[in-house]
Amino acid sequence: MRILVTNDDGIRAPGLVALVDVARRFGEVKIVAPDHERSACGHALTMREPLRMKQVPWNGLEAWEVNGVPTDCVNLGRAVGFPDGVDLVLSGINNGPNLGFDITYSGTVAGAMEGAINGIRSVAISMALFVDGAPIHYDTGAAWLLDHWDFIASAPLPELTFLNVNVPSIAPPELLGTKITPMGRRVYADRVEPRSDPWGRTYYWQGGAVVMHAAAQPGTDVEAVSQGYAAVTPISLDWTAREAIRGLDDWLSGQ
């Protein structure tokens, strides 16, 4: 099996190391990842700047750092690393959750999305850490991946669908199991904060606190990870709101 590994935390991220250590047990692994953190870049694509790949040492594996985003890394990995084809794209293990609406911002998810767009089976995996300063249990994410390898590599998926996995950042014995879930809602309050620089000029810092009420989202990825389960959400690249088509067509025809 030819396995392309990427992330959005950068080529030196510990989550990437944990992911590669599992993946290399199951096939030929090549790593193509950003040269620095690219969190929240979404499904961006570098179009007006040259992309450069630099080979980096990685314990017997071929690995490159790229001055681009995860989408670029997947495309370069296909073209340079595996010109004869890729069987599986793995993106992660991300430092933090990618739950609910996070998937629209996430570079980690974008790596898997780009793989799926190109017809490659793809999985994004993230550690759901909710307390600043708490330990990030990449060992739990790696153990989950090892235990569920056959599932992520072989379970049937519809066309143009990839898997988004969130593993609670808890010790391995505390993980209660795995749930297949729809995505919930994860939004941010007070996202834009105005501040002043030393000269009194206003600038803005974007971020905000997460508003996430797990109890109000039964059956979702948000609830599952809050209860101590790994959440696996199948994500379709077909974003069409099919239930809206008939109503919109009727409204348009009636004008």
- How much is the pLDDT for 189? 62
- How much is the pLDDT for 246? 93
Question: Which residues on adjacent β-strands are paired with residue 233?
Answer: 164
The set of residues, in sequence order, having a beta carbon less than 8 Å from that of 220 and lying 6+ positions away, is 100, 181, 182, 183, 184, 185, 231
Angle at 195 between CA 101 and CA 41, to 5 degrees: 30
More confident residue, 211 or 220: 220
Mean pLDDT over each residue of the chain, to the nearest integer: 92
Q: What is the pLDDT of residues 127-185, one digit of tens each?
A: 998 766 778 999 999 999 999 999 999 999 999 999 999 999 999 999 999 999 999 88
**Tokens read off for 114:** 């780009």
Report which DSSP code applies to 46: -
Percent of the chain whose pLDDT exceeds 90? 84
Rounded Cα gap, residues 57 and 55, in angstroms: 7
Print burial letters for 102-116: b (CB count within 10 Å at least 16), e (below 16).
bbeebbbbbbbbbbb
User: For the purposes of burial, counting CB atoms within 10 Å of the CB of 67, is it exposed (0-12), middle (13-18) or buried (19 or more)?
Assistant: middle
pTM of the shown model: 0.92
Give phi and psi for 201, each to the nearest 5. Answer: -85, 140
Question: Which residues on adjacent β-strands are paired with residue 204?
Answer: 194
Report which DSSP code applies to 80: I
CATH of 2-183+216-253 given 3.40.30.10, 3.40.50.720, 3.40.1210.10, 3.30.365.10? 3.40.1210.10
Q: What is the pLDDT of residues 2-61, one digit of tens each?
A: 999 999 999 999 999 999 999 999 999 999 999 999 988 999 999 999 999 999 999 999
Q: What is the pLDDT of residues 58-81, one digit of tens each?
A: 999 999 999 999 999 999 999 999
